[in-house]
Structure 1
Amino acid sequence: MADKRCVHEMLVEQCTECAPPPDGLPSHVFVTAGGSVFHRTTRCAGLLDGQRQAGRQGKEIHTPERKPLAEARGRFGACLICCQGYRPGSPRR
């Protein structure tokens, strides 16, 4: 039996764009232009705290943008508050 390939000619499980999201993560997450991690929700305490801290430091506060998880995982880390337990490379169940 042949392994299933995606539209990018890769094994589906190995393609960052076509692989299903890891357990516990949605297919879309939220990021900000000034942030370094992705969040499951715009109500995440870590996201809100980061925005408050940026405001106190006189920095611009960026509106969270919804992005595909596959895109965010390539550019951002996972929030330690709302994505607890997820680590890149962790096995899918």
Structure 2
Amino acid sequence: MSSILKNRKILICVSSGIALYKTVGLISSLRKSAAEIKVVLTPNAKKMVSEIVFSSVGNCSVYTDMFDINNGWIPHTDLSNWAELLVV
């Protein structure tokens, strides 16, 4: 990955499917490029791979409930404002 990703804010949305397993490698590569990452998991994706795997590999926040208001942070709107790039 190139240095163009350095300090870029990338939101990765993961659903269930065989490609889910490749997402872990993608996140690892993005972290090596010094990108800032946040991950959103669907309920079925969470059943296939634990959110702990994504948070550990990506050293990032993982969201599973888009309507969980925590400390004034509203994921379903704030994540879209935060991200510079969306990967589904």
TM-score for the superposition, normalised by structure 1: 0.30
TM-score for the superposition, normalised by structure 2: 0.31
Higher helix proportion (structure 1 or 2): 2
Higher strand proportion (structure 1 or 2): 2
